Structure 1
């Protein structure tokens, strides 16, 4: 993907024979129209000069340049090993002679590119990072564009397409700023390379329109139309348009290009899209026969051969030839991963370094596992089942490694969506084998994979936040991170406000540059061994750890997982894991949608239809297991996909009771988050803060955009700490006090935008200059000291549902910022009811109840209060849910403290009464 380009330059001079040879070599190096012959002549001359170094005939800087130019030429000729050898000699020469460090820039840059061509991306990153550090000292920034392009390639090949786009875009803008791409300029070729790289990244993000626009723009540069036609064909395949793909392939004019291995692979993919595996097989086999004729660099050839074998495997899989399919996928892995050489199909690579097309390696691993499972069923061989599951595990280990390399949640969320299907297939296969054998090991594996697939971006961010605090990262770097995050969110806010499109372009460039600066900063964190080591060695989800936190007889965990057309319900208690329900997906999802529709449209009036649907939902989701679950007072529910919209508290059991009557319920995004250390011990009532900006008339006068919330202040009557009301409840005060707050209560308005989650916001006093706290800003906060965030605003637990990540909402933003426990609203909240629930909640909390128990107690008290009879409909109370990390044991100490305190009070009262009575009538004693 790298484009090699050089500025035109002609050096003529007089001097020694060696100097003349050096100048002649440079003439060949910088010729306007280089050929293999001119490059070979330059190499011969430079090798002759290098053989005489050290020499007094050349200045030291020119001697260093000989190594630089020679290494570059070897790189261009596709000889990365030779390039690495020469460039390393050059670095040694520069250091030994104490030359200016800036001379190390080019060798480091080209070493990075050479190692990448050899599929040794870890070494590549090391040298590219060195080049970037040296660049800061250089006054001539001529190679900046190339450096950013090379970094973009690294991110692209690791599957981090979002960040790759930022690098390619930056590289392109640098080149276009420095020189206008004329008809034959090197800059024009560079722009072509950077632009097509960026388009490829957009294509992999499934932003097909953006990719196509960039390709067509590159086509107008009239540099290599055949390459663009090939890339447009690839884009058409990704967007499931085989006819368009064939059209573009047929538009290629050069017969050699038309028959190249990459383009033949594209033709095979077209056959597979058209469900023509026999035609694909015939073409692929002919490719293998012709592979020695392909003029391509070794690493690239291996990659394209890997694609051929991957397509071979897919063809055999379509034909249900599972042994041949598995062998094809295994050979694909061998070609994709240059360090893996095991030909035994039962073996798999260890995911510990970056390779060309890591997402291709994952796809090949998961498809190999799928083929082996089908073969195991066909041959009825238990050993093959184990090999298949081992292969899935290696694929998921690779994902874990990849996610820890990524530096932004967008990339992690996209990866989670991309690979979700593999987890669904793996979990389904594990459950099928469990049902066939009754071997609990298969059930446990399915459960762990189900939870591992959920909320990865959130879990990693939470984990990184905790590790970062104890990783010996210098404070100046952490402060720099805060500044960059602030700049990023501030610029995004300006984009929302600006009207002039030209200004938007400038601001978007600022956003990109801030993201790149953060990217490089995060890359520097990985240089602190304790930081990256701890990330990689973080305990994956563990069933024993979960069970250790479940108190026998009182708490149970229910995990739901949607796999293809089925919903599985796992139940975990202190003693065992079992599969309680297997539900048909479409019927359940339709029920959940009906419940939500009926709740919102009824607005607390009609109850009969809602109760009927709730009973049916209960039967589907809990009917078989409820006799056992009924004994547990505390439920932890791990929902998946559409289930995040369902408040289980309102489901009706066989006795006609809402579940809230007998069960407190905690929701969580994934079982992985239940293993993170809770900050519950930081609970401190005196450091609580509350905000109610629309509780007084003065705040309403500032803006008619938001309605008055007259009961908002009463929500926090029992909240000990500092409460900001009316115009005092500004965003600035929140930002100033939230970092050290133990409890945060926000009684205000909010807006959720499911189609654009980052556009959602929480409203503070309009008296402040900036009164909207956007979802994006939440991700930049540090709320690790907060034990609880109570969001009584409307729709704060509503948003876009991602198959892999779960619900992207305002409440998730607070979890991402580090808060373990959140009370949030699924739909519009009633001001009076919210105030009632809040007051009782804090009363229960002060009595020693846990967060979910306190919320349950508040709802029960509401339902038993005759004065609140008009609000007994689930529409008013079921919307408030608790999402958290609070196991039963967390509050045991607090409860006992309250218990013994009450005993002491009773004893003291009795003693006082005793002594008073004794003084009055001693004969009584």
Structure 2
């Protein structure tokens, strides 16, 4: 089921909010009322009755009326659903209402009588398999009918007839939907004549919803906008929430994701203010669906968990089924096929019980996708064909478009290429007619794959290029760098396919040098969010933004730090799993809001609006703007069937085909696992290093020489210390003959240089943070601090802190880094006199690190522990002093989101801490972590580590590194090379574990 289909289904659900005119007219039907008068209770006007109703049971009430009377009755379901029927004398059914289709579970029945006699109200349970529930019937009004009453009844009956034609539970057809629009418009005119603005708003909403079902998106947008204005005019906050929701659905369809998220959050805010948990559920689910579409599975799961609990608490079976389908899709995207099957089958059972054909089709389509992923394509086709028939009868062209796409994919996997193209072309036609660009892009990609398999490389290349054009267009409409990165990860396969096609065409026609076009396509797929963030940093997009919005960003940042610290305190003491989960959910919610505020800042920034998005580099750009005569760019691209390497110098390009992704990953993971351990067997480590070098470096051995190597890695290769790989010709580590520099992409270096051009160097040499105070039992605490914190209290607090760190994944206490003090002293002794700031002990604090004085230094060095949060990289950071001079706890975590807010135009940042070079891996972006944060803050280059480093060896590496820079005037890349080679030459530290973890990213000049 597509995300857009889910949103429309939910919109239909939410459309029932506060509708009291929804009445179904049932002329001429027999009531089936009991024959025994003893089964019927009398009910008088102005009275009410509250009773329990068992499953499958009916209660009957009678009242004698005269012709020309107006009556109004209210039936309210307290917990379980009920159905209410109004029956005329003689058994003719007049009205039928069902709380399953009313979000408020309150039914309003009005009528103007035409004959005298005994009328009856029947209240029955529509569910035969649920426990007893309680309801209340109130005979609110009985009086002589006026002309207005009769007109209102006519309008209500017309509205009810429109609703009947529209169908409940997905049982509509395209023809019935068209007829329902005609009836709704008749009702709208009657409500206008009555001056009934509330009912006008409700009817506008229904018209919009039907147009959505017919995939007439722009017309639906117009009616939703009218309805929103009407609800605001009459002060109907619930109706306003509904329309904000409906507009979010439309904007998602149009690819305007920023507006969709904004409208959903506004709707959610109103519903929570009103305490409307039932309808809050639909909005929560929709937000989850949108994050799923954008590829952010963690946020998706967070919202889905909230939604499922709410649906079950409110007894909404249809909503529960829809969410079960969505959870099936989420697990499918995570390759958790058994879980996906379970969720889809649960949803399918509920949809069938409800008679919801669209929902049933969506569940069947989902089951088909799981079987496709399991390579059970014949079975998948059975599910898809069932879904296609149901979508067709329900008039869902969007559902048909996606199902044709899935059928085409299955036929391709079966090798039946003509059948595949037939269905994929149908998907293209429908997608274009509906302006469903996501489905169109996916269909173009699949067509390209079919043509590649058929040997039609030119045709395949054309279709893959068209798919990329759509992906680029959609990407620019995604709000926020993190969401944009998640979305871009979901379309990486488009770029990899085109890259592969161009390289295969190059193999056939090498004189055309299509490998250069392949290189440029690969470059378009790399680190785009970082590239744009660097451009934003240079433009200072917060200038001219509303002060309240900026203050909200600042306050959320402070709140995020406080909640993260509170999480540590909670986990340090006795706590329940529920408390831990609640705290984690609160932090997740704050992170989401923080990102949304930043997206609003971009949307409202004049400088951001005027900002020209940076373009990725061509081959000529790379050669002329980035490379000097002594630098060789090695750029890798890993693919499912084949991988590639490009070797670029200032005046040449060579390209190579490498093994498939799985083979490279296996070799890389083996080498990394051995290199990061001090006790690895040397023979095993050497064999693993040689094996990986043979794959990655042997093809380009004749071009290496003694050049500086600029590495643009891909996937698992981001974790590899290329410096430790043996040179193909000498078998010694690459670092012996080559300076090494890593980059997320070549284009990132060009963007960094734009910022560095003309920048005035800071006046002072180096600021060093080292030997922070982590624990309350540290001997550096003053004796007088005992007055405020006893020795036993300090020991208890220290143990609590250790336990907290273990619970959040650190696994050990923050031990004092004794060698870091020596490291700092050595750096200070080497650096120019009077140009050093040493922040040691309590001064190695978060307050010092975020102060303005730090911008006065060309180099900033952090010798401390690092924390890696791969799930939420914003919470990764450096650990500075956690207690003050009085022994009181303080916030000592410098987190990634804090780093983004620094103004730190340093020539070099050195992160002499564990795993500071790692982060969350996002396809197409690489590792998102501290290194990028400092680049955004203004650093020209960053030295960071790939694993936990021995602190004695680190201290020695750093001493040699700074001696090379300050005493010999070497560039950072050259100084790091010399330091690492010097350590490697020492027998006790020859293992890569001791020296190879440190890598330099950024400017090599």
Under a length normalisation based on structure 1, what TM-score does the superposition of the two structures give?
A: 0.73
**Is the CA contact (8 Å cut-off) linking 2:877 and 2:893 kept in structure 1?**
yes
Tell me, in whole angstroms, the C-alpha distance in 1 between the residues paired with 2:347 and 2:288. 26
The Cα shift of 1:309 comes to 0.7
2:769 counterpart of 1:691: yes
Tell me, in whole angstroms, the C-alpha distance in 1 between the residues paired with 2:635 and 2:448. 25
Residue 633 (structure 2) aligns with: 557
Deviation digits for residues 440-499 of structure 1 (CA, Å, limit 9, x no counterpart): 553123223334434455445444444552674334323321221332343234234322
Q: Aligned-pair RMSD on alpha carbons? A: 4.9
Tell me, in whole angstroms, the C-alpha distance in 2 between the residues paired with 1:147 and 1:838. 53
Q: 1:713 aligns with which of 824, 827, 830?
A: 824
Give the 3 Å change call, closer, same or farther, for CA 271–476 of structure 1 in structure 2: closer
Residue 514 (structure 1) aligns with: 590
**Is the CA contact (8 Å cut-off) linking 2:676 and 2:992 kept in structure 1?**
no
**Is the CA contact (8 Å cut-off) linking 2:520 and 2:617 kept in structure 1?**
yes
The aligned runs of 1:475-514 (5 Å cut-off) are: 475-498=547-570, 499-504=575-580, 506-508=582-584, 510-514=586-590
**Is the CA contact (8 Å cut-off) linking 1:711 and 1:831 kept in structure 2?**
no
2:1001 counterpart of 1:883: yes
Across the two proteins, how many residue pairs are aligned to each other? Answer: 807
Deviation digits for residues 694-719 of structure 1 (CA, Å, limit 9, x no counterpart): 59999565668514225232243145
The Cα shift of 1:560 comes to 1.7
Tell me, in whole angstroms, the C-alpha distance in 2 between the residues paired with 1:565 and 1:117. 39
Residue 955 (structure 2) aligns with: 835
Residue 941 (structure 2) aligns with: 821
2:621 counterpart of 1:545: yes
**Is the CA contact (8 Å cut-off) linking 2:159 and 2:184 kept in structure 1?**
no
Tell me, in whole angstroms, the C-alpha distance in 1 between the residues paired with 2:988 and 2:734. 20
The aligned runs of 1:760-779 (5 Å cut-off) are: 761-768=877-884, 769-770=889-890, 772-773=892-893, 777=897
The aligned runs of 1:12-91 (5 Å cut-off) are: 19-20=148-149, 24=153, 51=189, 58=195, 63-75=196-208, 77=210
Tell me, in whole angstroms, the C-alpha distance in 1 between the residues paired with 2:663 and 2:189. 77
Instruction: Name the structure with the higher strand share.
Output: 2
Tell me, in whole angstroms, the C-alpha distance in 2 between the residues paired with 1:245 and 1:430. 39
Residue 447 (structure 2) aligns with: 368
Residue 222 (structure 1) aligns with: none
The Cα shift of 1:66 comes to 3.5
SS class of match (1:447) = helix
Residue 344 (structure 1) aligns with: none
The aligned runs of 1:168-317 (5 Å cut-off) are: 188-189=315-316, 199-206=324-331, 239=339, 241=341, 261-262=361-362, 264-266=364-366, 268-269=368-369, 272=372, 275=375, 277=377, 292=392, 294=393, 296=394, 298=395, 301-317=396-412
Q: 2:844 aligns with which of 724, 729, 737?
A: 729
Tell me, in whole angstroms, the C-alpha distance in 2 between the residues paired with 1:393 and 1:802. 19
2:717 counterpart of 1:643: yes
The aligned runs of 1:516-531 (5 Å cut-off) are: 516-525=592-601, 527-528=603-604
The Cα shift of 1:564 comes to 1.9
The Cα shift of 1:304 comes to 1.4
SS class of match (2:626) = coil
SS class of match (1:206) = helix
Deviation digits for residues 348-406 of structure 1 (CA, Å, limit 9, x no counterpart): xxxxxxx4xx654443232121112223x1xxx564244234234335425633xx514
Tell me, in whole angstroms, the C-alpha distance in 1 between the residues paired with 2:367 and 2:354. 15
**Is the CA contact (8 Å cut-off) linking 1:775 and 1:813 kept in structure 2?**
no
Residue 909 (structure 2) aligns with: 789
**Is the CA contact (8 Å cut-off) linking 2:636 and 2:646 kept in structure 1?**
yes
Deviation digits for residues 667-712 of structure 1 (CA, Å, limit 9, x no counterpart): 1223342232344435425274321125999956566851422523
Give the 3 Å change call, closer, same or farther, for CA 47–395 of structure 1 in structure 2: closer
Give the 3 Å change call, closer, same or farther, for CA 433–859 of structure 1 in structure 2: same
The aligned runs of 1:385-534 (5 Å cut-off) are: 385-394=460-469, 396-398=471-473, 400-401=475-476, 405-407=478-480, 409=482, 411=483, 414-415=486-487, 418-439=490-511, 441-467=513-539, 469=541, 472-498=544-570, 499-504=575-580, 506-508=582-584, 510-525=586-601, 527-528=603-604
SS class of match (2:842) = helix
The Cα shift of 1:519 comes to 4.9
Give the 3 Å change call, closer, same or farther, for CA 132–565 of structure 1 in structure 2: closer
SS class of match (1:693) = strand
The aligned runs of 1:670-685 (5 Å cut-off) are: 670-678=745-753, 679-680=755-756, 681=759, 683-685=761-763
Residue 254 (structure 2) aligns with: 121
Residue 666 (structure 1) aligns with: 741
**Is the CA contact (8 Å cut-off) linking 2:464 and 2:494 kept in structure 1?**
no
The Cα shift of 1:419 comes to 4.2
Tell me, in whole angstroms, the C-alpha distance in 1 between the residues paired with 2:319 and 2:560. 24
Give the 3 Å change call, closer, same or farther, for CA 240–289 of structure 1 in structure 2: closer
Deviation digits for residues 764-820 of structure 1 (CA, Å, limit 9, x no counterpart): 224342465275555654355344220112332356655544345554554466644
Tell me, in whole angstroms, the C-alpha distance in 2 between the residues paired with 1:18 and 1:524. 51
Tell me, in whole angstroms, the C-alpha distance in 2 between the residues paired with 1:630 and 1:325. 49
Tell me, in whole angstroms, the C-alpha distance in 1 between the residues paired with 2:697 and 2:166. 76
Under a length normalisation based on structure 2, what TM-score does the superposition of the two structures give?
A: 0.68
SS class of match (1:320) = coil
Residue 977 (structure 2) aligns with: 856
Tell me, in whole angstroms, the C-alpha distance in 2 between the residues paired with 1:856 and 1:509. 44
Tell me, in whole angstroms, the C-alpha distance in 2 between the residues paired with 1:319 and 1:713. 64
Residue 746 (structure 1) aligns with: 862
**Is the CA contact (8 Å cut-off) linking 2:534 and 2:752 kept in structure 1?**
no
Residue 114 (structure 2) aligns with: none
SS class of match (1:767) = coil
The Cα shift of 1:438 comes to 0.7
The Cα shift of 1:418 comes to 4.3
SS class of match (1:553) = coil
SS class of match (1:628) = helix
Tell me, in whole angstroms, the C-alpha distance in 1 between the residues paired with 2:998 and 2:862. 13
Give the 3 Å change call, closer, same or farther, for CA 26–713 of structure 1 in structure 2: farther
Tell me, in whole angstroms, the C-alpha distance in 2 between the residues paired with 1:874 and 1:601. 9
Residue 351 (structure 1) aligns with: none
**Is the CA contact (8 Å cut-off) linking 1:841 and 1:857 kept in structure 2?**
yes
Give the 3 Å change call, closer, same or farther, for CA 480–468 of structure 1 in structure 2: farther
Give the 3 Å change call, closer, same or farther, for CA 195–586 of structure 1 in structure 2: closer
Tell me, in whole angstroms, the C-alpha distance in 1 between the residues paired with 2:376 and 2:594. 46
Q: Which runs of 5+ in 2 are unaligned?
A: 1-8, 18-103, 109-139, 169-176, 782-797, 799-812
The Cα shift of 1:877 comes to 2.6
